[in-house]
Amino acid sequence: MTLLAGLAVLLYSGRASAAGLVSDQYKSLTLMVFAGIIALTLMVTYFAARRGQTIRDFYTGGGISGFKNGFAIAGDYLSAAAFLGASGLIALYGYDGMLYLAGFFVAFVPVMLLVAEPCRNLGRYTLGDILAYRNSFRSSKLVAAVSGIFVSIFYMVPQIVGGAVLIKALVGIEYEVSVATVGVLMLIYVFFGGMRATTWVQIIKAVLLLSACFILVLLSWAPFGFSAPRMLGALSINPQFVSYMSTLVGGSGGDSTDVVQRFFQPGLYLTNPLELMSLGFALILGTAAMPHILMRFFTVPDARTARSSVLWGMLLIGACHLMIFAIGFAAAHFIGGKQIALLDKGGNLAAPILAQYLGGGAASFSGNLMLAFVAAISFATIVAVVAGLTLAAASSLAHDIYVGAIKNGDVSQKGQIVAAKIASVAVGVIATALGLMAKGQNVAQLVGLAFAVASSANFPALLLTLYWRRCNTMGVIFGVVGGTATAIILVLVSPNMQYPALQLEAAQAKTEKLRETLRQSDNQEQRIKVAAAEAEVAHLQQGSQTSLIGLARPLIPLKNPGIISIPVGFLLVVLGSLLSRKRSEDEVWNNMRIRRLTGVGRAVASDH
Amino acid sequence: MKMSEQDFYLEKIEAISGRQLRLVVLLMAGFLIYYASLLFGAAYFPNIFAVRISGNINIGMLFTVSQYFMAGVIAWIYVKRMQSIDADLYKLNP
């Protein structure tokens, strides 16, 4: 084991280029910290695999306690986007970062109220089980699975891509190596350890992440006695911050206090009101239908435990978010927006740089140790979330599509296990391949798309199947297929895509402005800028003038289609149900209601 | 007779199910209103959000952080009410 670890460190140090936040002399230290955390997770997988597996073990891992599952939920849900991304947004844009993050947390209220307990009572392993409860078995399974797999992949790819980019920026490991490592690790956890290993990896990650956040808040807010007015007061008179704000807000008026106050007000990042509402609703409704979240409710013995695990999860996620708020503002104060944006435009490196600074700076041992930990924990964060998503997608593929839709439920235990393992490998390979292909692409909007599909396709179908008697198979099919299609089509005609014609216009305008400046003050530097801009215009003029699907400009101004596609999704389920005359018989409907409420007759999960 | 026993059971279950649904609908409505007003406020009333309370902390920031506690309150109410519903269910299905 130690020999392997040593070999791995040697292999990776060779690949770590000179670039990266970590000072060169501390590279091996960083890799050792990485190796330590990864070794821990692999050990856990080994023990999980040794306990042997039935198919029930593979998918649900068994009846774990609410407390453990709460940690696993937190580990499954808190992504690098929350820890690194949101703290960066707060560091750069202040209030809007808080607003953005809050949506991710409150999304658990609908989960707790509407979805957690009914799912545990009615389902076995997947969303497909629940939709198939009183609808046509094969169609519901097929439709739920395809949509679920789409959502999982849309959510997974940005995690892998974003993660690899960050690791490269932090430690200098090449993009492809990071992606491959994430892929291999996630496959090991899922293939060998199934849900048990995945659960424990998520628990470990949650503990590490919460500890890291706690230490960062402790170190950065102690000088201010943990008083928010004092800390923010110091921030607002910090000269580096004031100068950052004047550059950001520009000459758009007001004296320096007004300019500084803009940081604490909405509008620096989320500038489009409709967009904000759209994103907000997609978040709160989509989370309740996300495959990897729903999957966590099948791992507990009963509905009461499902309820308490949501509560524990909310407590941990809420605490983590509040700490992330604190970290974001601390980064704005100690490091400063300018520095953060220089290292990464999106601000994703704010938390790691803060860790390095608080530890003692870029030249110190403790500074780089802190940075190594934060980097390793970010990596673990990505792997844990991706493993959860892979298992969710694999269970859809194997349990819903193969065992359910294709074989109509008629597969032996052994056959189910084989199917599940093959499915995990398939999903893992596809996700890794997409991650490698997406190098250099801006895939962040895929996350928005994942939530859009989950909230417009899966959520309406789930909600109405659970609570509306008149809902039937036709409704579910209309809703899931229609909702997914609507969300995807709306994204294809949205500003998310690349529009060369618009880029050309922007480039031409920029060139004009630079030429104007040149006329006023002719010098070498300015001439170079103008030449570069003109070259860009020429380059753009040569390429295609339309987006991927042939549009010159976006048809709708929204990046997140939620506010349109969610109502459409609901309408489609209603329409489909009403069009088909089928109505659940008394007995079926009553049985479902009784089981949904009391849990009598539910599927059993064994111990983890 | 078996028939009326079943009907009796069903009636009881329906009553409890109704209580649970009412609880959930009310809490969801409360949650949606509270969160939507955060979104609406940030989008269309930024001047109100900008009103300062203590130092640099303004209404907007307090409102956002309060969302976390709102969720906690809703969770607490839900758990308390469900405890009594669960007790009634247990009486029916021991």
| B contacts of A109 (beta carbons < 8 Å) | 27-28, 31, 71, 74-75
Nearest one of A482, A322, A59 to B67, comparing CA atoms: A322
**Encoded tokens for A406:** 């294709």
Q: Domain-by-domain residue ranges, chain A?
A: 2-497+554-598
Count chain A–chain B contacts defined by CB atoms under 8 A.
Answer: 124
The pLDDT of residue A450 is above 60: yes
**The 3-state secondary structure of A280-322, one letter per residue:** HHHHHHHHHHCHHHHHHHHCCCCHHHHHHHHHHHHHHHHHHHH
pTM: 0.90
Burial class (CB in 10 A: 0-12, 13-18, 19+), A239: exposed
pLDDT at A405 over 90: no
Give the residue carrying structure tokens 């976006």. A554
| Coil/strand/helix, residue B53 | strand
For residue A229, which residues of chain B lie inside 8 Å, CB to CB?
Answer: 54-57
pLDDT in tens, A458-483: 999 999 999 998 999 999 999 999 99
Give, to the nearest 10 degrees, the angle between helix A228-237 and helix A303-334.
Answer: 30
Question: What is the structure's pLDDT at A12?
Answer: 64
State whether residue B58 is helix, strand or coil. Answer: strand
A598·B56 Cβ contact <8 A? no
Q: What is the mean pLDDT of residues A411-431?
A: 92
Q: Is A108 on the interface with B (CB under 8 A)?
A: yes
- Are the CB atoms for A599 and A120 separated by under 8 Å? yes
Contact A534, A512 (CB under 8 A): no
Q: Is the distance from CB of A529 to CB of A514 less than 8 angstroms? A: yes
CB contact under 8 A, B60 and A266: yes
The whole-angstrom separation of Cα A56 and Cα A183 is 24
Write phi, then psi, for B52 (nearest 5 degrees): -85, 140
Give the whole-number percent of chain A exceeding pLDDT 90.
Answer: 51
Contacts of B79 in chain A (CB under 8 A): 307, 311
Residues in chain B with pLDDT values less than 50:
none
Residue B20 amino acid letter = Q
- Both tokens of A245, joined, read 């704000």
Encoded tokens for A590: 């009553």
User: Does the structure show a pLDDT above 60 at A252?
Assistant: no
Residue keyed to tokens 């209220």: A109
pLDDT 10s digits, A13-38: 555 443 577 777 788 888 889 899 99
Interchain CB contact of A500 with B (< 8 Å): no
* C-beta atoms of B56 and A102 within 8 A: no
How far apart are alpha carbons A328 and B66 in whole angstroms? 18
Give the closest residue to A140 by CA, choosing from A126, A157, A153: A126
Cα separation, A35 vs A22, whole angstroms: 16
Strand, helix or coil for residue A455: helix
Q: What is the mean pLDDT of residues A84-88?
A: 92
Neighbours of B3 (CB within 10 A): 7
The answer to whether the Cβ–Cβ distance between A113 and B35 falls below 8 Å is no
Contacts of A221 (CB under 8 A, 6+ apart): A231, A326, A330
Q: What is the structure's pLDDT at A381? A: 92
CA distances from A429 to A107, A153, A213, B10 (A): 31, 11, 32, 50
For testing contact with chain B, the best of A93, A113, A269 (most B CBs within 10 A): A113
CA distance A369 to chain B (A): 32
DSSP annotation of B52 reads: E
Q: Which of residues 269-328 of A touch B (CB under 8 A)?
A: 270, 273-274, 276-277, 280, 284, 304, 307, 311, 314, 318, 321-322, 325
Q: Does pLDDT of A606 surpass 50?
A: no
Any CB–CB contact under 8 A between A114 and chain B? yes
First to last CA, chain A: 25
Query: In the CATH hierarchy, which fold is given to the domain comprising A2-497+554-598?
Result: Sodium/glucose cotransporter (1.20.1730)
Among all chains, which residue has been given the structure tokens 């996350």?
Answer: A447
- Sign of the Cα pseudo-torsion (A223, A227, A228, A230, in order): negative
The pLDDT score that the predictor gives to residue A2 is 53
> Which residue has tokens 């590490």?
A208
Of A228, A230, A598, the CB nearest to B89: A598
Q: Of the spans A57-61, A274-278, A330-334, which averages the highest pLDDT?
A: A330-334
List pLDDT tens digits, range A555-604.
888 888 999 999 999 999 999 999 988 888 888 888 888 888 888 777 77
Radius of gyration of chain B (CA): 21
Residue type, A98: M
Give backbone dihedrals phi and psi of A17, rounded to 5 degrees, phi first: -80, 180
Mean pLDDT throughout A475-501? 90
Residue A554: is its pLDDT beyond 50? yes
CB contact under 8 A, B68 and A108: no
| CA pair distance B38, A179, nearest whole angstrom | 38
Q: Residue A153 above 50 pLDDT?
A: yes
Residue A528 sits at the chain B interface (C-beta within 8 Å)? no
Judge contact between A573 and A476, C-beta under 8 A. Answer: yes
The whole-number pLDDT of residue A607 equals 45
Residues 335-394 of A with CB under 8 A from B: none
Q: Which of B44, B74, B93 sits opposite A109 (nearest CB)?
A: B74
The interface residues of chain A toward chain B in range 244-263, judged by CB-CB distance below 8 A, are 261
Rounded Cα distance, A159 and A444, in Å: 9
**Interface touch B20/A233, C-beta < 8 Å:** no
Residues of A in contact with B24 (CB under 8 A): 113-114
Residue with token string 């089509």:
A489
Closest C-alpha among A353, A352, A455 to residue A80:
A352
Kindly state the average pLDDT of the residues A209-235: 94
Q: What is the pLDDT of residue A18?
A: 39
pLDDT band at A429 (very low <50, low <70, confident <90, very high): very high
Confidence of residue A418 (pLDDT cuts 50, 70, 90): very high
CA distance A558 to chain B (A): 15
CA A384 vs. chain centroid, Å, equals 11
Q: With an 8 Å Cβ cutoff, is A112 touching chain B?
A: yes
Interface test with A, best of B27, B68, B74 (most A CBs within 10 A): B68
Six token digits for residue A496: 């998310």
Q: Residue B76: closest CA among chain A residues belongs to which residue?
A: A311
Token couple for A475: 């409704």
Q: Are A352 and A21 in contact (CB under 8 A)?
A: yes
Structure tokens at A349: 């490196």
A419 with A207: CB under 8 angstroms?
A: no
